[in-house]
Each structure stands twice: as structure tokens, then as C-alpha cells.
Amino acid sequence: MFRSLQRPDVLITTLAAAGVLMITMGTRQGMGLFISPLNTTTGLGIATISLALAIGQFTWGAAQPLAGALSDHYGPRPVLVGGVLILVIGSAITPFMNSGFGLIVSLGLLSAIGSGACSFSVLIGAAAQRLPIESRGSASGVINAGGSFGQFVFAPILQKLIQTLGWMGAMWAMAVMTLAAIPLIAKVTPPGHEPVKPTHGEAGLMSAVGDAMKNPSYLLLHAGFFTCGFHIAFLVTHLPGEVNLCGLPPSVASWSLAIIGLGNIFGSLYAGSCISRYRSKYVLAAMYGSRALLIAWYLLMPRTEMVYYFFAAGLGFTWLATVPPTAAIVGKLFGVRYLATLFGLTLLSHQIGGFLGAYLGGLAITQLGDYTWMWYADMALAAAAALVNLPIREAPVVRTVVPA
């Protein structure tokens, strides 16, 4: 799969985009580690903190199509730089927030908007417009793996920082580390890079979005990605709480999150290679189906450290490896001109599911005392997602044409 990335310019663009995603996703996916110490300090309650993080899940998704549209119109560089700075501000002011509303502003809005502006839709869209078509599948896998590597790196680092500096010091340290993404942005969008201008007869953005929302395959893709968001947000937010219920130390949660990230590095690279050999809808169906089986296995097993680590490794292989085949289907259907926007809309569906996964998990532990029914819902939704991907048609669609 790496043969298509051997050109120096292609490799530099791909690795730089992966590096930006490593930083922004690494910090974002470690937020669940802050819930317990934040609750101890503020006394706001798990449900209130979960609501702020759930709003962050939705906001991160809502930011994707908007950031994608801005990137398609103005170019990705100002969007990416602005996103990093907003993410830094959101992290830096969080320790000063002692109310639910304050956390919604810092974590639910600012941090999520900043991270969303520097995430999959803008980065994959920017790379796709600069890479030859034969390199895009492999590049999307490598870029996606960057986000997973960030989770692998940041989860244990953040846990150690929380233990040594306290959660406030760890949050400020995270804000400083996020600034490292800015030099990499210059490699993704070199000076002089301009957004692609519409050619004669090409539909505009709103027309392209309207056509896409009428396409059954695109809507089925949204439905499956909704489930993916529910699954991931529930786990990344509440896995530390699940580990705590079992009487295991916090390090089990941080290492489980790290293993998920490590597993998804391999899963993302494998997914990137698979979409050049198999239909992407079958790749997605297999991933979602495997999640349902893995959750069933977890529910039947005793809660030990090794079970969590094996569970994390299995989950990690498909964690966000769904992104390359999903982006590939969007690209096959509609081309790359508005890929950042149209893929951003699928990520919005993903994060609507993410909002429900994070918030309902908080309600479950508050009202029921454990996450049992969330696991059942998660398993059922994963099985449904496997099925809804099968009818998708991957042939390019006919676009609305602007009259001459």
C-alpha cells in the first residue's frame, strides 16, 4: 500500500496531515481520563460532566461540515491554524470553570470546535486535492492512523501528568503540547496553496449538498456512521468509569485507551489497503459486525486486566478505521471537489451518535448504577450498522450541472 506514497511530496503531505491529527485527536480522545478528578474537585457530578463532553461530541461533528465548507472556499490553512488556536484556548480555560455551563463552553464548545476544524474532513479533503488519485486510499489510511497514534501516545502521558501535576496542570500542559501542530500545517498546505475553483458547468456547494442528501447510498452511509459515533463516544468517555466499577486501577483505563489507539494504527493502515482491493461497503460491514461480536465476548468474560487489554486491542483494530472506507465512498460518489464538506456531514451524523453515547452513558451510571444496558444497545447498533452498509452503491452519481 505504501508504494503509492513514495513520491517525496506525497509522503510529506501525508505524514504532516497525520501529525496534525495525531495531536488534535490524541488530546481529544484522552478527555475521559479527566472525568473522575474533575468531579472530585468540582463536585458537579458525573452526569453534568458527561453532558458537557456529550455536547463536545456533537459540536465536534457539527464543526466538520462548516470547517469543510470554509476549507473548500478559502483553503485549509486558515481553518487549520484557527482550529488549533481555539483548541488551545478551550483547554487552557477549562481549569477555571467550576460550573456545568462553564464546562460546556470550554470543553463542549471551544475545544470541540477547535479539534473539529483540525480533523478528518479538512485534513483528508486537503490531502485529496493535492495527491494523485492512486495515492488517496493509502494516504487516508496513514492520516487516520495518525489520530490513532495520538491516542496511543497521549493517553498514558495524560494519565501520568494528572498523577504528577493534577488534572489542572495536565490540562494546561495539554494546551501547550497542542501548539506543536502549527508547524506541521505548513507542510499540509504550503505557501501559495489556493482552494480549487469551480470549473465551467460545475455545480456549486449548496447544489452538491442537496444532490448528496437525496442519494440513498449517502444516507445509508450516514446511518452506519451514526452508530460508529455512538460506540466510540460511549467507550472513550466511560471506559475509565467501567474500569473503576470493576475495582481495577486507573492505569488499566489509560493503557486500554492507549492499546485502542495502537490497534487502530494497524487497523487504519489495513483499511487503507483494503479499499483499493475490495468494495468499501463490505469493509465497513465487516468492521461493524466484528464490534457486535467483540462486545458479546466482553460481556461473557470476567473483568480482569488482560480481558480489558484484549478487548481494547480488538476494538482498536476497527476503532476509527471506518474513516478511510467512509471517505472513499463519499469520494467515489461525488468526487473530491467538495469532499471536505460532504465527508464533514457524515462526521456530523457520527457525532450525533457520539452525543447520545456519551450522555446516555452518564445517565446510565447515574440512574442504574452500571453500564449494562449501554453495552446491549451498543451491540445491537453495531449489528444494525453492518447491515445498513450492504445496500450502498459505490458508483459515481450524476451531478446537477449549472447552466452555461
Each domain of the chain, given as residue ranges in start order, spans 2-388
pLDDT at 139: 75
Helix residue ranges, H only, 301-368 = 305-318, 323-334, 339-367
pLDDT band at 88 (very low <50, low <70, confident <90, very high): very high
Highest mean pLDDT, choosing among 11-20, 174-183, 341-350: 174-183
Residue pair 274/283 in contact (Cβ under 8 Å)? The answer is yes
Fold that domain 2-388 belongs to in CATH: Growth Hormone; Chain: A; (1.20.1250)
Question: What are 105-116's pLDDT values in tens digits?
Answer: 999 999 999 998
Q: Which amino acid is at 197?
A: K
Range 334-359 average pLDDT: 83
Question: What are 257-303's pLDDT values in tens digits?
Answer: 888 878 888 887 787 778 777 888 999 999 999 999 999 999 999 98
- Residue whose cell numbers read 450498522: 385
Q: In angstroms, how far is CA 256 from the centroid of its own chain?
A: 17
pLDDT at 197: 53
Residue pair 121/343 in contact (Cβ under 8 Å)? The answer is yes
In Å, how far are 57, 148, 165 from 89, measured between CA atoms? 18, 23, 19
pLDDT band at 212 (very low <50, low <70, confident <90, very high): confident
- Residue whose cell numbers read 479527566: 34
Helix (H, G, I), strand (E, B) or coil at 106: helix
Residue pair 21/146 in contact (Cβ under 8 Å)? The answer is yes
Give this prediction's pTM: 0.71
